[in-house]
Amino acid sequence: MTFLEPDRYFSRLSHVDIGRDIVGLGYAHVLLDIDNTILTRDTHEVPRDVGVWLGRARDAGIVFCLLSNNWHHGVYELAERLDLPIVAKAVKPLPPAFLYALHKIGANRKDALVIGDQLVTDVFGAHLLGMRAYLLAPLVEQDLPHTLALRTLERAIMGGRKPEGAPTGANMQGAEGLAPRAAQAASAPDDAGCKEAL
Q: What is the pLDDT of residues 112-147, one digit of tens each?
A: 999 999 999 999 999 999 999 999 999 986 555 666
β-strands 132-136, 8-10: how paired? parallel
Whole domain around residue 15: which residue ranges? 8-187
**83-99: average pLDDT:** 97
Write the CB contacts of 106 (distance below 8 Å, at least 6 apart in sequence). Answer: 29, 63
Does residue 198 carry a pLDDT above 60?
no
pLDDT band at residue 13, thresholds of 50, 70 and 90? very high
CB < 8 Å & 24+ apart, contacts of 146-149: 147/118
Task: Assign residue 98 the CATH number of its domain.
Answer: 3.40.50.1000
Residue 101, in any domain of the structure: yes
For the chain, the maximum distance between any two Cα atoms, rounded to a whole number of angstroms, is 46
Residue 175, in any domain of the structure: yes
pLDDT band at residue 2, thresholds of 50, 70 and 90? confident
Residues 143, 151 contacting (CB under 8 angstroms): yes
Structural domain total, the chain:
1
Residue 198, in any domain of the structure: no
Tell me, what's the pLDDT at 42? Answer: 81
Residue 167, in any domain of the structure: yes
Residue 163, in any domain of the structure: yes
* Residue 159 neighbours by CB distance under 10 Å: 6
Tell me, what's the pLDDT at 34? Answer: 97
Residue 195, in any domain of the structure: no
**61-72: average pLDDT:** 96
More reliable by pLDDT, 111 or 3: 111
